[in-house]
Amino acid sequence: MALTVVGSVAFDALETPFGQRERILGGAATHFSLSASFFSRVNAVGIVGGDFGEAEWDVFRRHTINTTDIEIIPEGKTFFWSGRYDYDMNTAQTLDTQLNVFETFDPKLSEASRNAEYLFLANIQPTLQRQVREQCKDAKFVAMDTMNYWITSAKDELVKTIEAVDCMIINDAEARQLTEEPNIHKAARKILDFGLQALVIKRGEYGATLFTKDEFFVVPAYPLDSVFDPTGAGDTFAGGFMGYLASQSDVSTPVLRRAMIYGSVMASFNVEKFGTERVDALDYPEINQRFRDFKRMTHFDEIPFERATSVG
């Protein structure tokens, strides 16, 4: 089934201990749609400037992503973000943000985008997220991201938006901040109580946890000797997660669990190279191999302990 994503398309400048890039393709909608494209048909909704070139469009084309709804403002400039990571690769230090055309982003959805059964609202202003959600009347599963800035500056609007979706995909600090609850399990229950079917809490190098009303499911991060560039890991996770869901016939618990694994698989590839480089070059055998790696690193046999035979 089809999947629509609404969010930023950007140029990033990055400095990490392993190298730097002055201008590479980035943005939440970019990372998300590239990742999701391995599993589903994706419509990307965003905005770019006249500086967005053929090399960038080619990345979307290679993955058959529908870019009809990426608006082009020929006289404007594309959203630009510049950041630096130190050896602790968990958090970026923002050096520069130039919103450019993104400042007046007003998502316009074509019929194809509006009719998608699955919808992901990447991190944009919560009121805009809700307007998009309302345009997609037939969406059967809608997920959203947000960030600390909106939790602080637009909490009421944000809560109204959460109440209009089925799933949130956020990091643990955001979950704690949103609920003012330090214990992550209590925080998760408070967020589910906004009426969500599912909540995914991302925990960086510690993996991600899925919470539903009755249970939860923990996925560790894939072990990597070096994380090269974590930019876009969260959106790549969301892309694998939502892309896989959209490829299945229902959103059941076993499907959600596998979606968590595919999200983790895709995120683990994303951080191995700069920007979109690694995911752009991925193939299915690599994805399925890493999926099996996740199984090997988490599964065990269930043999209940029998006291009588062993102690004494």
- Confirm or reject binding of residue 311 to a copy of itself (CB under 8 A): yes
- Confirm or reject binding of residue 296 to a copy of itself (CB under 8 A): yes
**Residue 101 or 200 having the CB closest to a copy of itself:** 200
Residue 105 DSSP SS3: coil
- Confirm or reject binding of residue 244 to a copy of itself (CB under 8 A): yes
As a whole number of angstroms, the distance between CA 191 and CA 179 comes to: 7
- Other CB atoms within a 10 A radius of the CB of residue 206 amount to 13
24 is written with which tokens?
A: 């590479």
258 is written with which tokens?
A: 């596998």
As a whole number of angstroms, the distance between CA 161 and CA 86 comes to: 34
Phi, psi angle pair for 147, to nearest 5° = -150, 165
Phi, psi angle pair for 232, to nearest 5° = 85, 0
For residues 75-104, which are near a copy of itself according to CB under 8 A? Answer: 87-88
DSSP state of 124: S
To the nearest whole angstrom, how small is the minimum distance from the Cβ of residue 113 to a copy of itself? Answer: 17
- Confirm or reject binding of residue 297 to a copy of itself (CB under 8 A): yes
**Residue 211 or 274 having the CB closest to a copy of itself:** 211
**Residue 220 or 251 having the CB closest to a copy of itself:** 220
Which run of H or of E encompasses 81? strand 79-84
**Residue 65 or 162 having the CB closest to a copy of itself:** 65
Which of 61, 108, 185, 213 touches a copy of itself by CB under 8 A?
185
What mask of x and - would describe binding to a copy of itself in positions 29 to 68, judged by CB under 8 A?
--------xxxxx----------------------x----
User: Taking Cα atoms as reference points, which of 143, 287, 288 lies closest to residue 201?
Assistant: 143
- Confirm or reject binding of residue 203 to a copy of itself (CB under 8 A): yes
* Interface with a copy of itself: number of residues (CB under 8 A): 54
Phi, psi angle pair for 185, to nearest 5° = -75, -40
Residue 1 DSSP SS3: coil
**Residues found near a copy of itself in the complex (CB under 8 A):** 37-41, 64, 87-88, 182-183, 185-186, 203, 206-207, 209, 215-218, 220, 223-226, 244, 247-248, 254, 257-258, 260-262, 284, 287-288, 291-292, 295-305, 307, 310-312
